[in-house]
Amino acid sequence: MIGQQIVLAARPEGEPKESDFALVETEVPTPGPGEILVRALYVSVDPYQRGRMSEARSYAKSVALGEVMTSQTVGEVIESDDDRFAPGDVVVGQLGWQEYAVARGSALRRVPPSVPPTLALGVLGATGLTAYFGLFEVGRPVPGDTVVVSGAAGAVGQVVGQLARLAGCRTVGIAGGPDKLADLTGEYGYDVGIDYKADDVNGALKAACPDGVDVYFDNVGGELSDLVLRRLALHARVVVCGQVSQYNNQTPELGPRLLGLLIVHRARIEGFLVTDYAPRFGEAIPRLAAWLAAGKLRYREDVTDGLENAPRAFIGMLRGENRGKALVRVAEPG
Amino acid sequence: MIGQQIVLAARPEGEPKESDFALVETEVPTPGPGEILVRALYVSVDPYQRGRMSEARSYAKSVALGEVMTSQTVGEVIESDDDRFAPGDVVVGQLGWQEYAVARGSALRRVPPSVPPTLALGVLGATGLTAYFGLFEVGRPVPGDTVVVSGAAGAVGQVVGQLARLAGCRTVGIAGGPDKLADLTGEYGYDVGIDYKADDVNGALKAACPDGVDVYFDNVGGELSDLVLRRLALHARVVVCGQVSQYNNQTPELGPRLLGLLIVHRARIEGFLVTDYAPRFGEAIPRLAAWLAAGKLRYREDVTDGLENAPRAFIGMLRGENRGKALVRVAEPG
B94: domain CATH number is 3.90.180.10
Q: Using a CB-CB distance cutoff of 8 angstroms, which residues of chain B are in contact with residue A222? A: 257
A271, B258: Cβ pair inside 8 Å? no
CA A214 to CA A47: how far, in whole Å? 25
Residue A53 distance to chain B (closest CA, Å) = 15
Q: Are residues B154 and B251 in the same domain?
A: yes
Mean pLDDT within A321-332:
96
CATH number of the domain enclosing B188: 3.40.50.720
Q: How many domains are contained in chain A?
A: 2
Query: Does residue B288 sit within a domain?
Result: no
Q: Which residues contact B282 (CB under 8 A, 6 or more apart)?
A: none
CA B314 to CA B97: how far, in whole Å? 11
pLDDT over 90 (residue B57)? no
Q: Is B57 on the interface with A (CB under 8 A)?
A: yes
Q: Which residues contact B14 (CB under 8 A, 6 or more apart)?
A: B248, B249, B250
Residue from B52, B69, B70 nearest B61 by CA: B52
pLDDT over 80 (residue B207)? yes
Q: Which residues contact A327 (CB under 8 A, 6 or more apart)?
A: A42, A43, A44, A45, A118, A121, A122, A301, A302, A303, A304, A313
pLDDT in tens, A273-282: 999 999 999 9
pLDDT in tens, B68-105: 999 999 999 999 999 999 999 999 999 999 999 999 99
ipTM above 0.90, yes or no: yes
Nearest CA in chain B to A259: B240
Q: Are residues B109 and B133 in the same domain?
A: no
Q: Are residues B151 and B163 in the same domain?
A: yes
Query: Does residue B292 sit within a domain?
Result: no
A221, B257: Cβ pair inside 8 Å? yes
Query: Does residue A292 sit within a domain?
Result: no
User: B311's torsion region: left (phi>0), alpha (psi -120 to 50) or beta?
Assistant: alpha
Q: Are residues A200 and A82 in the same domain?
A: no
A271, B263: Cβ pair inside 8 Å? yes
Mean pLDDT within A66-88:
97
Nearest CA in chain A to B254: A256
pLDDT given at position B334: 75
pLDDT given at position B86: 97
Q: Is A242 on the interface with B (CB under 8 A)?
A: yes
| SS3 label, residue A199 | coil
Q: Are residues B271 and B130 in the same domain?
A: yes
**Average pLDDT over all residues of chain B:** 97
CA A74 to CA B182: how far, in whole Å? 60
Query: Does residue B281 sit within a domain?
Result: no
E strand or H helix that includes residue A264: helix A260-265
**What value, to the nearest 5°, has the Cα angle with vertex A171 and ends A296 and A154?**
70
Q: Is A166 on the interface with B (CB under 8 A)?
A: no
Residue from A262, A73, A153 nearest B262 by CA: A262
Q: Are residues A155 and A95 in the same domain?
A: no
Best interface-test mutation with A: which of B220, B231, B246, B270 has the largest number of A CBs within 10 A?
Answer: B270
Chain pair A-B, CB pairs under 8 angstroms: 121
Q: Are residues A132 and A110 in the same domain?
A: no
Q: Are B241 and B218 in contact (CB under 8 A)?
A: yes
Q: Which residues contact A203 (CB under 8 A, 6 or more apart)?
A: none
Nearest CA in chain B to A226: B257
Q: Are residues B138 and B270 in the same domain?
A: yes
Q: Is A265 on the interface with B (CB under 8 A)?
A: yes
A259, B269: Cβ pair inside 8 Å? yes
Q: What's the pLDDT band for B269 if we cut at 50, 70, 90?
A: very high
Percentage with pLDDT > 90 across chain A: 97
Query: Does residue A54 sit within a domain?
Result: yes
pLDDT over 80 (residue A334)? no
Crossing angle (nearest 10°) for helices B281-293 and B126-133: 100
Domain that holds residue A211: 126-275
pLDDT over 90 (residue A177)? yes
pLDDT over 90 (residue B325)? yes
Query: Does residue A284 sit within a domain?
Result: no
Q: Using a CB-CB distance cutoff of 8 angstroms, which residues of chain B are in contact with residue A256? A: 251-255
Residue A29 distance to chain B (closest CA, Å) = 33
Q: Are residues B88 and B107 in the same domain?
A: yes
pLDDT over 80 (residue A102)? yes
Q: Are residues B149 and B249 in the same domain?
A: yes
Q: Is B136 on the interface with A (CB under 8 A)?
A: no
Q: Are residues B226 and B263 in the same domain?
A: yes
pLDDT over 80 (residue B184)? yes
Query: Does residue B139 sit within a domain?
Result: yes
Query: Does residue A291 sit within a domain?
Result: no
Q: Are residues A56 and A150 in the same domain?
A: no
pLDDT in tens, B29-50: 999 999 999 999 999 999 999 9
Residue B296 distance to chain A (closest CA, Å) = 29
A263, B273: Cβ pair inside 8 Å? yes
pLDDT given at position A317: 96
Percentage with pLDDT > 70 across chain A: 100
